[in-house]
Amino acid sequence: MPKEHPAQAPGTRGVGAAMSALVLAVLLAALDQTIVSTALPRIAADLDGFDDIAWVSAGYLLASTAVTPLWGKLGDMFGRKRLYLAATAVFLAASVACGLAQDLPQLIGARVLQGVGGGGMIVLTFALVGDIVAPERRGRYQSLFGSVYGVASIVGPLLGGVFTDQLSWRWAFLVNLPIGVVALVVAARALPAGVRGARARVDYAGALVLAAIATGLVLVTSFAGRWGWTSPAILGLTAATVALAALFVPLERRAAAPVLPVTMLTSRTVVLSSLIGFAANAAMFSVLVYLPTYLQIVDGVSATLSGVHMLPLVVGLVLSQSLAGRWAAHAGRLRLILVSGLVVNLAGLLLLSTVGAATGTVVMSAYFLITGIGIGMVPMVVLTAVQNSVPAADIGAASAVVTFARSIGAAFGVAVFGALLTADFATRTRDLPRTGGFDPSRPESLAQLPAAAQDLARAAFAHATGGAFLWIAPALAAGTVLALLLKQGRATAAGQAAGEPAGDRPAAKAGVRSRAA
């Protein structure tokens, strides 16, 4: 059965060129999840669509999550390079359509199409690392992408604000074109051609059901706070999603080439790693999304300065990503890295839950640094553990499973954190004057309150944020327990070339073929 082998990987210089293209692609896709946030008020005003503006972000998240498993499986079947180039082209074309949109329905439609391309870029990038890099070195290279995510989460909103204030919100989308074209050209020249996998009918039914499940999950997590967790719409979506999930497994068992092989759902490494990725991303995105708002409301800094204050977190994230990748490559102690990262991340969350208006800048920076170190040690190590535990022919599908779980975890974490924060803040400020239309989602509106009320609002927001961090902490605690259940060790190229799932096979002789985490 033909399949893509690491033996087709380019040389050292070629790996560098290929990785530079992949890093650029991940940067674009990651930025598009964050750069629009600060531009949304201006977009709503220009396109007269305040009621439906949330769909500009939700449409991208929904589409990118829903198509992830299909892109991964198609890459396994038809060769990842050609699918990657196609996904990048779709993303760039949709970026132009976003920048030229004349009304909100056009923009939302273009964002959905952009999510289709962006989801393919992300999952195929992760899978391509499995093609061009040996198993024992994947952790080092995957760590680059985690660092890019961390930087994008801070830089994205800042760039969105600069483009909106100095040029136009349309440049938040159009800026993708020159960078993306460079990435596309380099990728076309540097990526290995690959070989098609097994010739079989595409599992469109499974892909459609899985996309519907993803759609239900994203809609529930994105709009439960707006519609109400017990509203008929949310309850109906939840019930439909559960019913589709029950239908999915027997459907995939009958498929000739399932979009998500059932064996993935029975692999201890894949299942545990996906759950860990879900928990870690729920905590990570809660921190990255809400800390800038905290700084702007409680400390009274500008949007730009909030990014500067977040730099210790980014430094910790980038540093720990790099060290975790190198540690995994040389020692293969993936379980130890995951447990350490989750414990440090949990400690950071607990420290952040204690901050308030009286917390000094130095202390806050130390808390940010600790949190960043914990965040950086987990995501890409989880992906490396999964890739090293499956046959080479299933790397795309396995990468898609973890990416899917992490995307849902991010949406779930942000939704739950936001709901807890909003409810607690509303309770603490029920007696505040509402003149001036203060809205916590718009920190600049705080200035419209009377001076005494501003101090009360800041204190209430600080307490509400700390309480929300405490509620997120159990997710990381659960992830730590799951990480302890993972198998210790690492995979080798010999094991994957043999087509054996390294993480779930019996122990082999030392130095020949040991188990993946």
User: By three-state DSSP, how is residue 415 classified?
Assistant: helix
13-17, 145-149, 415-419, 447-451, range with greatest mean pLDDT? 415-419
Domain match, 208 and 300 both: no
For residue 82, tell me if it sits in a domain. Answer: yes
Structural domain contains residue 237: yes
Q: Give me the domain span that covers residue 12.
A: 1-203
**255-264, 322-331, 403-412, 448-457: segment of lowest average pLDDT:** 322-331
Note whether 11 and 76 are same-domain residues: yes
- The domain boundary residue, chosen from 255, 285, 316: 255
How many folded domains does the chain comprise? Answer: 3
Same domain, 212 and 333: no
pLDDT tens, residue by residue, 124-154: 887 777 677 666 666 666 666 766 766 776 6
The residue to which tokens 């079947």 are assigned: 77
| Distance between CA atoms of residues 355 and 372, nearest Å | 16
Mark whether 146 and 269 lie in a shared domain.
no
State residue 496's pLDDT score: 45
Are 240 and 279 part of one and the same domain?
A: no
**Is 457 inside any structural domain?**
no
In a domain, 464, yes or no: no
Q: What is the mean pLDDT of the chain?
A: 75
Given a cut of 50, whether residue 511 has pLDDT beyond it is: no
- CATH code for the domain of 140: 1.20.1250.20
Pick the last residue of a domain from 255, 271, 296.
255
Q: How confident is the model at residue 224 (pLDDT cuts 50, 70, 90)?
A: confident
Annotate 134-143 with b (16+ C-beta within 10 A) or e (fewer).
Answer: ebbbbbbbbb
Same domain for 214 and 241, yes or no, is yes
- In this structure, are 218 and 302 located in the same domain? no
pLDDT at 196: 53
Task: Determine the pLDDT at residue 143.
Answer: 66
pLDDT of residue 198: 52
Residue 156: CB atoms within 10 A of its CB come to 23
Same domain, 99 and 230: no
In a domain, 12, yes or no: yes
Dist. CA 448–CA 433, nearest whole Å = 10
Looking at the domain assignment, is residue 510 inside a domain? no
- Provide the pLDDT for residue 13: 52
User: 469-500: per-residue pLDDT in tens?
Assistant: 888 888 889 889 988 887 755 544 433 443 44
Whether residues 182 and 68 share a domain: the answer is yes
Residues 223 and 366 grouped into a single domain: no
Domain assignment present for 430: no
Q: Is residue 447 part of a domain?
A: no
pTM as predicted: 0.70
Question: Do 227 and 185 share a structural domain?
Answer: no
102/427 Cα distance (integer angstroms): 40
Q: Which of 107, 108, 114, 121 is nearest to 93 (CA)?
A: 114
Q: To which H or E segment does residue 276 belong?
A: helix 268-298
Nearest CA among 131, 129, 141, 127 for reference residue 329: 141
Q: What is the mean pLDDT of residues 281-301?
A: 80
Query: CA-to-CA distance for 182 and 186, rounded, in angstroms?
Result: 6
Residue 20 tokens, joined = 């530079």
Sorted by sequence, the CB contacts under 8 Å of residue 146 that are 6+ apart come out as 317, 321, 376, 379, 380
Q: Phi first, then psi: what are they for 53, rounded to 5°? A: -65, -25
Question: Which pLDDT score, from 0 to 100, does residue 135 have?
Answer: 62
